[in-house]
Structure 1
Amino acid sequence: MNLETNRCKLRTLKACDRQGVLRVYQDEQVRRYLGGPVEEALIKRLIKRLDEPDEGRFATVIEKRTGSFIGMVSIALHHDQINEEVSYQLLPEWWGKGYGKEVVSAVLQYAFQNLHLKKVVAETQAANTRSCRLLESVGMNKETAVDRFGEKQIIYAIYNNDHT
């Protein structure tokens, strides 16, 4: 996945992203609603996968002006094993500046135009009000709620206008 937004470049994850990926998975704020920081052994396995082809569904988010790694975004199979899910994790210093909305909007457009998906979902903890607002701001609507990982999760969905 290689995309550009006004302020960001989204490119395929590469081995040089290891340090940024490590930061994302170990940051307590980023992982607050995602089960907490990930153990280093698991992170090493995840990082090892950076060398594998990803079919254009995982991307590093780089801020154009500074060249800084600000997070990751992906389109991958959801827990329901039916729908594709947009997922994102940005480092806290980039929160509240519109980067999340900019990046998720671009990835949804990519999912519909390039991957020809009819529907994309996103799952977030109901307690993660910032993520809920972000998903709603890009046009996603609450579809259902589930209990998963011991917490109430909200499943959001958006449909490709060409298929509704």
Structure 2
Amino acid sequence: MMNKIETQRLILRQWQPDDFAVFAQMNADPEVMRYFPRLLTPKLSDIIANKCQQLIEDNGWGFWAVSLKSNAKKSNAFIGMVGLNEAHADMPFAPSVEIGWRLHKDYWGQGYATEAARASLKFAFETLALDEVVAFTAVINKHSQLIMQRIGMTDTQENFYHPMLEPSHRLAEHVLYKITWQRWQAIFNQ
């Protein structure tokens, strides 16, 4: 069963066919993909979107498509993806559930990633009953680290080298943030 999440300004929902082209545009944008190893072809972008769609179909959660409530009636309301995913088995902190986001650059700096990420954490703790959620990014990606801090996550100080990148790659060293259910409860459910 698909879980749709609504916040004050956003809808986190299942992917729709109209989302794929905008997602491909985002994944081909050097600014959006600055902290990823490479730009994605439309074909690879579609594969990822299909996988996100299938995981939501199978599990009821995942990296949801995000749209603005004010644009909900428009056919191209997709602004990016935010949500939860099981961390890849090669990661040093696996098994775990990660939180992540990728928004179209037209929607940066407006608090949308933070708003959607908080809603995703609420789902992780209240619906999935997880004990903790992790997040990771390249050490140089200060913007994502700020979002991690805004949603109550703390830096574990356990940096690691991403297993899919050469250690010499500029993005190889990653920070690992986490938030426990107890910390989330203390911050957001006082």
State the secondary structure of the residue aligned to 1:133: helix
After superposition, the C-alpha distances for 1:2-22 in whole angstroms (9 at most, x for unaligned) are 101111011012333211221
- Comparing 29-38 with 94-103, greater Cα deviation is found at 29-38
State the secondary structure of the residue aligned to 2:65: strand
Distance 1:25 1:54, change over 3 A: farther
2: CA distance, partners of 1:163 / 1:60: 24
Distance 1:99 1:22, change over 3 A: same
1: CA distance, partners of 2:86 / 2:12: 20
Is 2:9–2:70's contact at 8 Å kept on the other side of the alignment?
yes
Moved beyond 6 Å, runs of 4+: none
Pairwise CA distance, 1:50:
5.8
Q: Please say if 1:146 is aligned against 2:148.
A: no
Query: Which ranges in structure 1 are unaligned for 5 or more consecutive residues?
Result: none
Query: Residue type of the partner of 1:140?
Result: M
Q: Please say if 1:66 is aligned against 2:83.
A: no
Q: Please say if 1:98 is aligned against 2:111.
A: yes
Query: Residue type of the partner of 1:160?
Result: W
State the secondary structure of the residue aligned to 2:159: strand
Query: Residue type of the partner of 2:66?
Result: V
State the secondary structure of the residue aligned to 1:105: helix
| TM-score, normalised by the number of residues in structure 1 | 0.90
State the secondary structure of the residue aligned to 2:110: coil
2: CA distance, partners of 1:43 / 1:27: 12
Query: Residue type of the partner of 1:2?
Result: K
2: CA distance, partners of 1:124 / 1:4: 26
Q: Please say if 1:83 is aligned against 2:85.
A: no
Query: Which ranges in structure 2 are unaligned for 5 or more consecutive residues?
Result: 186-190
2: CA distance, partners of 1:154 / 1:140: 12
Aligned to 1:43: 45
Residue correspondence of structure 1 range 26-37 to structure 2 within 5 A: 26-37=28-39
Larger radius of gyration between Structure 1 and Structure 2: 2
2: CA distance, partners of 1:51 / 1:132: 26
Identity of aligned residues (%): 27
Query: Residue type of the partner of 2:25?
Result: R
2: CA distance, partners of 1:104 / 1:44: 23
Pairwise CA distance, 1:48:
4.0
Compare the two structures and name the one with the higher strand fraction.
Answer: 1
Aligned to 2:13: 11
Q: Please say if 1:158 is aligned against 2:179.
A: yes
| TM-score, normalised by the number of residues in structure 2 | 0.78
State the secondary structure of the residue aligned to 1:15: coil
Pairwise CA distance, 1:78:
1.4
> How many residue pairs are counted as aligned between the two chains?
164
Pairwise CA distance, 1:76:
1.0
State the secondary structure of the residue aligned to 1:65: helix
